[in-house]
Amino acid sequence: MCGICGFYDPDKKLPEKAALLQKMNAAQKHRGPDDEGVYLDGPVGLGHVRLSILDLSSAGHQPMHYGDRYTVVFNGEIYNYIELREELAKAGYIFRTNCDTEVLLAAYDHWGEACQTRFNGFWAFAVYDKQTGDLFLSRDRYGVKPLYYTELPGYLLFASEIKTLLTDRRVKRIANDAAIFDYLVNGFVDCTEETFFDGVYRLEAGCCMRLNPEGEKQIRRYYELPYRESLVEPVGCTMIREFRRLFEQSIALRLRADVPVGSCLSGGLDSSAIVCESNRQLRAMGGGDGQQTFSSCYAGDPNDERKFMDAVIGKTGVNAHFTYPTGDTLYEDLEHLIYTQDEPFVSTSMYAGYCVMRLAHENGAKVLLDGQGADEILCGYRKARVYYIKRLLGAKRFGRASRELIAYLPYMRKGKNVSLLADLNMIRQFLGKTSSTDIRHRYLEDSFAKRTLRDSYRENDRFLLNDFDRIVLPALLRYVDRNSMAFSIEDRLPFLDFRLVEYAMNLPLNAKIADGYSKAIMRKALDMPEIIRKRRDKIGFYTPEKAWMDAHLDEYRAVFENPDFRAGRYINSAKILNDWDSLTRGMDDIGLFRYICLEKWMHVFDVQSA
């Protein structure tokens, strides 16, 4: 895992090229503290900072050259590099290192752009072809690893993080109104190629870009997730065995490392299954005794998941570590958390992940396994169950629809923020039904509130796929990448092995939701403590946000009282201050933290409104 950056300057417009590369590397040094390098040739500059995971020797130094033709900077892991190296060796390729970067270069030389479909892993890389003068950039199928770019007169900059691009003072720090509106009204982030910075873009998941000396830029999609949605099909032993086989293979690949591999542990199904399976495999290989887990807990909070974590720890015997974030630590860390994330985020749940990664770093971890992706491929969210019931009713399967509704109703009504009303409101939004009197518009500036709400769901009949590739997962992947890399940790995601994703996304809905249980096939197929297997509640990325904010209400109020209130184009701070007591006393219907986060983001990055 690393950080990459660079530029393409066919018009020779970029001054002080070497100095800029050094600044860009320095801005993302946290992504790769073990080594760094730069490369300049003709129109291209490449920078790299390295976190050593495979082949810890200097042979893995980047930028890496291949023959007299190719040079690469690469962030990520190609987990099947051993199998690919064997295949390429039979084709006559000779390897001088034990790292996946060299395999990537040989694969690019042998298969060209088609190499992307042969990789099992996550990546963002840039390959310069000295023979043609082209620069080729690629991002993995599901966008686990980030890649941002911006175009300035005569040249293009790219990097793993937006803050790296901002080291070029010619990049303007102007807010993107469309992204801010989506954020404040919908709670959506990372839904499109646009970012919160006007003119800064993300290369979307499953896409690649080619730049040539004539100044032409071509972006194309090399991967589309195969998706077929059916309601009800027989779920037998064969289906369950295949799911288990793919999961076990995914874990096996993600245990490949020349450093120890630990895990995040939340107490939910996803992380519990990962810890149990990785522990089984490590013990089969003669290890496992030193396996570490890292968790976030909230002492005295009724939603604390410690009892579920303890069940996994007792079953596996892992060496467990815990962190206990509070409202005080959140307030102290908030500006650094915002700097870490590059863009605003929707809730304080991001802080739990930040604290877990800091804890792991303090205990010497460099690689962790994590559970992102399971909810999206296996209908883990409450809204997916509402969607399933709606589909059953539409298909006139009234008996099954009634059973699912009766089985889940007690859990839909559990807790302030997981009410039946919240579920139904989510479905209304999915169907494109909004109200002009929506409370989410109440505290926006009048002219800004009149903007048209763009439909981030592309097609309503692709509800689950939209969550996967637009609405939910991209944001989670940004959060986990920034949090982990802020503390020089590689976070690996077994549920996003492309073979497992493609299999799970094409399972019938009744394999995922059955008798009030989400992730039904996972519960049958994977090993975990029974207390977790039988859970029906969905806590999600929970943090005691209200209690944390209550600890520093005066300081958060001061955000809106600041004479230099940057977000005044978007937020009516006077209305918020007038209603402050009611907003902070009861249910937070507008997502008050978003308003605070946006304003602080504009200060942290010195962003101006358009």
Strand-pair partners of 571: 444
**What is d(CA 546, CA 553) in angstroms, rounded to the nearest whole number?**
10
Nearest to 266, CA basis, from 177, 370, 393, 173: 370
- Residues serving a catalytic function are 2
Contact predicate 76/145, CB 8 Å: yes
CB 53 within 8 A of CB 110: no
Contact (Cβ atoms closer than 8 angstroms) between residue 518 and residue 378:
yes
Helices marked H in 317-397? 327-341, 349-362, 374-377, 382-394
Question: Which string of DSSP letters, residue by residue, matches 430-441?
Answer: HTT---TT-GGG
- Cβ(115)–Cβ(70) under 8 Å? no
CA distance 525 to 493: 18
* DSSP-based three-state secondary structure for 4: strand
- The three-state (H, E, C) secondary structure of 168-201, written as one string: CCCCCCEECHHHHHHHHHHCCCCCCCECCECCEE
Q: Are 536 and 411 in contact (CB under 8 A)?
A: yes
- Rounded Cα distance, 358 and 368, in Å: 12
Helices (H), 67-186: 81-90, 100-111, 162-165, 177-181
Buried b (16+ CB within 10 A) or exposed e, 529-557: beebbebeebbbbbbbbbebbebbeeebe
Backbone phi, then psi, for 363, in 5-degree steps?
A: -105, 15
